[in-house]
Amino acid sequence: MITKTETKETTIEPASSETQDSRTWDLDALNEKYLKLTPQQRIAELYNDFDKVLLTSSFGTTSALLLHMFYSQGVKEKVHFIDTTYHFKETLKYRDSLRELMGLQIEDVKPERWKNELTYKSELWRKDQNLCCSINKVEPLETIKKDFQVWVSGLMGWQNDHRQSLKVFEEKNGIIKFYPLIDLEEKEAESYFETHDLPVHPLKPLGYESIGCKHCTIKGAKRQGRWADSRKTECGLHT
């Protein structure tokens, strides 16, 4: 269960990108250790076990929760935002409002321009959603993943069946993934927003509970509004 935390005066500075670490990690031991901790404690402890941390955010309806937990722990970690060029304008405004609120340092990660333009001209999202996601989301992140040891994501188990099966740590495609919020209950997430008076994504009150690219997102509970006309449930970043 999460508890209210205040912003600390001390900060946890990310290690230099020049730091090289050849350690191997025992994922079973890490999961056993971190499962006993609160999400805030997990974030603080992460920097005792890893040096090069990749933090990403979609700036969707639940994103402010994870970002505020880093902020409240005094962690000054750069936030990587995958700019597919297909985001709702409301998402971009929400990103900017959270940047101002928490003093976030945000780096946009973009697809190759020519590939992105081809997806636009061909309306690829109508023909091959997996390929469109691969070009505009998965490939851009692949270009920077090699520089990090662990990738932090705000997935929560209640969001869909796939996420319900995840542990705090897993290894996926050459990088360790860290889900500090994975066992957080939906009501706890809602309570955190209220307790810390966090701003809500402007599309959430309109019925959008999960928000991605505008062509593939409609209103819907949890993730039911994503790729609603297909069996697709994930963009490929987390599968």
**Which residues make up each annotated binding site for [4Fe-4S] cluster?**
132-133, 213, 216
* Contact of 102 with 63, CB cutoff 8 Å: no
For residue 200, the SS3 value is coil
Q: What are phi and psi of 167, to 5 degrees?
A: -100, 180
The one-letter amino acid code at 52 reads: K
- Asked if 235 is an active-site residue, the reply is yes
Among the listed residues 65, 141, 182, 235, the single catalytic one is 235
4 forms beta bridges with none
* Contact of 61 with 209, CB cutoff 8 Å: yes
Query: In sequence order, which residues have a C-beta less than 8 Å from that of residue 30 and are 6 or more positions away?
Result: 49, 168, 169
The binding site consists of: 132-133, 213, 216
User: Which residues are catalytic, by number?
Assistant: 235
